[in-house]
Chains A and B, each alone.
Chain A
């Protein structure tokens, strides 16, 4: 038995080594399945919880066009949540179970959405920085070893780069605007910069899941590599529109041909993950409340479906 397991694992890893994609019906080690469910559901929940901070500005968007763009963006994020839930379902777990895990705290979502959106510039900052950071991560996941996940990422990435441009456009417009607008934009930058860097997770030296995820090609680049990529592309974009990066230690490293950055506040990172971020409770209570308030609708739809089925069969 043990030996069969080992053979299975060896064959599986050889397949991955050769660059084959793993599909839902393929044999896979329990650890691989578990790792993917955890990662994909966390990703799906992030898309969905992320609708809340942006949704906070839907009724206050400052022009018809701005409102259209924001609503369409939030709708895209909801759509990403749907693809990812469906992709996770191919691993034999239902959306209901995944939502249950979210509500009991067993499943996580991206920490970034535990921060509040306090001004319209935050909508720009989220699109530009948060979606910008997500893209760096997700581009590398387009080649992840699990087929349905990698295909979902290809679709999602196209839309995310659109979001990033639209967010940047909001920031650029505000930086070209009145003194109040500039101050709002810089304030948003100051509040969102560090949490965006934290989106890539702990330093490689402290990252617990790294080993298996790399060998199984779920993860293709390390946290620090991805974070560096994000910083390097974003610093110049900030300069172009006159925003200051709130890091006094940030400077170009000629030898390494990339930016060195200051120390990330890991204490804050772990505190927010641990549940004491500014909005953790609000986000979760909102999701649970809406889910519970919708229960009668889902029950009614199910009852109606069952009746139709019954009269069809009768």
Chain B
């Protein structure tokens, strides 16, 4: 693997994570528990599309084959998508979506804080912009997880169930592969190993405020980085890519 390939993979994966989570969040549009929350979820979906656009555009530039962000989003099959599995899981109920938001945004808080310092100027600039958005996503998720966890018996049970179900998808965010280690040496990538402790401390603290028990350590699901996904991703893509695939000569 050349450094160029590694950087392409790196930007692509970051783009895929944003794109697929934005696809899930946007499914809440006109489905949220009340209007204000509908707008908040749409807002976060919009932030994530913007981030995906920037990352995929950069991936295309690094690759140097003239592919645009739309080519990468709409003309790639599921085996060539590299997002973490947690992003593609169906929304579930509002508690499930909020717990996922908490796990992901807490991770991103630490991740983009570090990526800001990347020696790659483009990644650093995207990270700086992203960090502002992620701070809001984190606050929003934290607020809801605490409110729901400390709300009624029903809402507490739903949050606990979501935490238990999503826990095994959190390990993947901290994996390091060949591309990561290669770029880490150049000061381009983030050492996600170093983020683990901060993540677990912050999540533990928030779940404690929410009266939610931390699940026991267990097996962590993996595969996204190799393009081995859950059954759900194919369906996201077949909807998302429908027009581009059905009318390959059209521009929209």
Task: List the interface of chain A (C-beta within 8 A of B).
Answer: 48, 51-52, 55, 58-60, 62-68, 71-72, 74-75, 78-79, 81-82, 85, 120, 170, 173-174, 177-178, 180-181, 286, 290, 293-301, 303-304, 307
The SS class assigned to the A binding surface is helix
**Cβ of A60 and Cβ of B240 under 8 Å apart?**
yes
Q: Is B27 part of the binding interface, using a Cβ–Cβ cutoff of 8 Å?
A: yes
Number of interface residues of B (CB under 8 A): 49
0/1 per residue, B39-61, Cβ < 8 Å to A? 10011011001101100100000
Given the known A-B contacts A62-B252, A68-B50, A178-B249, are A294 and B33 also in contact in the complex, defined by CB atoms under 8 Å? yes
CB distance from B124 to the nearest CB of A (A): 22
CB neighbours of B38 from chain A (8 A): 51, 78
A112 to B36, CA, bound (A): 24
A293 to B95, CA, bound (A): 12
3 tightest CB-CB pairs across the interface, nearest first? A294-B33, A300-B151, A300-B155
Given the known A-B contacts A71-B45, A75-B39, are A60 and B31 also in contact in the complex, defined by CB atoms under 8 Å? no
Which of A51, A60, A68 touches B30 (beta carbons < 8 Å)? A51
A144 to B45, CA, bound (A): 36
**Cβ of B35 and Cβ of A300 under 8 Å apart?**
no
CB neighbours of B34 from chain A (8 A): 294, 297-298
**Cβ of B35 and Cβ of A74 under 8 Å apart?**
no
A290 to B93, CA, bound (A): 11
CB distance from B195 to the nearest CB of A (A): 28
16 A–B pairs (Cβ distance < 8 Å), ordered by A: A51-B30, A52-B30, A58-B27, A59-B23, A59-B27, A60-B239, A60-B242, A62-B243, A74-B29, A173-B252, A290-B31, A293-B93, A294-B94, A296-B152, A296-B158, A297-B37
CB neighbours of A82 from chain B (8 A): 35-36, 39
CB distance from B218 to the nearest CB of A (A): 28
